[in-house]
Amino acid sequence: MPELPDVELFRKYLDSTSLHKTIEEVDVRSEQVVGDRQPEELTTVLPGRQFYSSLRQGKHLLVELKKSNYLLEFHFGMTGFFNYLTTQEKLTGHPRVVFTFVDGTRLVYDCQRKLGEVSLFENFDGFLSVKNLGPDALNQVDRSKFERIFTNSRAMAKSTLMKQEKIAGIGNIYSDEILFQTGIHPRVKASTLAKEERDRLFKKMKEVLNTAIESEVEPEKMPPDYLLPHRSPGSSCPKCGEDIEKTKVSGRSAYFCPRCQKAPK
């Protein structure tokens, strides 16, 4: 689930539930999600502090702590999400890290497959240097940066959109959607796109990401001509009715319409 639009919604969720509450206790229930860092770092640094504000860089959510430079970073892997609990109910699902606030409410980081990460950084530069992330697809990639990225890339269009060190935030699902909305085949080489195609791709990249956020990432709320709800074998193109095809691009499954997105020569 978690690509840029999902993480943006997680950010808003955290903002509306957990900001400005003093942390009482941090329970690391799976040490695998804290990466190289010691669980003690979280359990000793965080209690007594408050989440002050949040920001998002690509698929990473960063939370600033009040009266400190520390940044608490969340990455959601393929299966991560938050669950805010206001009652003493028993934990369900796959809780990996639980933040308990002094008012008794809890913010649960749930991640079934444990491919996500909860980690503490001294400051923003420390985070950036470790993660090697490019500019955020929604907030930091302007037309000229996009132009440079696409004309300099030797990779296929889909791979280029997904490369986090070039553009941060787009994953497998939304790269398919952006290419579908632009009418570009996922295997087309990025550098062979015409200027007019790069213009459209840039616009659609922003449009699709914003639309997904506005739709709260729910397929039913997205425009009727979106591929996302039809991204499965045997479904038909929401624009022309053709059978949707599935292929592999750089090892990832790619869905596309062979009529709307013509194959490269």
In the complex, the residues that contact DNA under the rule CB under 7 A are: 1-3, 6, 30, 32, 58-59, 75, 77-79, 94, 112-115, 131-132, 153-156, 159, 162, 164, 171-173, 248-253
Q: In which element (H, E) is residue 9 found?
A: helix 4-18
**3-state class of 240 per DSSP?**
coil
Output the smallest distance, CB 167 to DNA, in A: 11
Residue number, 141 or 162, with CB nearest to DNA: 162
Output the smallest distance, CB 49 to DNA, in A: 26
Output the smallest distance, CB 85 to DNA, in A: 20
Taking CA atoms, 27 is separated from 31, 33, 93, 143, 191, in Å, by: 10, 12, 16, 44, 48
Burial letters 50-82, b for 16+ CB under 10 A, else e: bbeebebbbbbbbbbbeeeebbbbbbbbebbbb
Cβ atoms of 97 and 117 within 8 Å: the answer is: no
d(CA 198, CA 202): 6
Residue number, 31 or 40, with CB nearest to DNA: 31
Residue number, 63 or 249, with CB nearest to DNA: 249
Residue number, 23 or 167, with CB nearest to DNA: 167
Residue number, 159 or 181, with CB nearest to DNA: 159
d(CA 67, CA 44): 16
Q: Within 13 Å and on the Cβ side, how many CA atoms surround 211? A: 20
Output the smallest distance, CB 2 to DNA, in A: 6
Output the smallest distance, CB 26 to DNA, in A: 20
Residue number, 2 or 238, with CB nearest to DNA: 2
Neighbour order of strands in the sheet with 80-85: 23-28, 95-101, 106-111, 80-85
Output the smallest distance, CB 104 to DNA, in A: 28
